[in-house]
Amino acid sequence: MFTSILLRFARKVVEGVLSKLTALINQVTEQAYNPMNQMVQAVTGGVWVGKGADAFVEELQQLLMPGTTQITDTIGLFSKNITNAIDVIDQADNMVNNAVNGLADVFGAIF
């Protein structure tokens, strides 16, 4: 009984962490990746021309934007792994509950 309450509490805490990780992915996308993408579009659209403009776009597209994507992918993988861990814990909890209930039935039938 106590472990069940503790597991439910821990699950709620982890769900809160997962929610924050999702918000972090959105924040990185909105505040980093999207503005860089808009700059690339503006420069390639003719706002700035020349070798400097080309170098700027290349720097964004080759270094910064992939780095930002890698950050969001890593956070997403971390979230997925946490979710998988929760599933394993839930399965183990169900197995233990089933075993305990089975033993209770056996002892109940004996006494």
- Domains of the chain by range and CATH? 2-110 (1.10.287.1060)
Tens-place pLDDT, residues 57-81: 999 999 999 999 999 999 999 999 9
* pLDDT bracket for residue 44 (50, 70, 90): very high
pLDDT of residue 106: 78
| Alpha carbon distances (Å) from 60 to 30, 33, 35, 72 | 16, 10, 11, 16
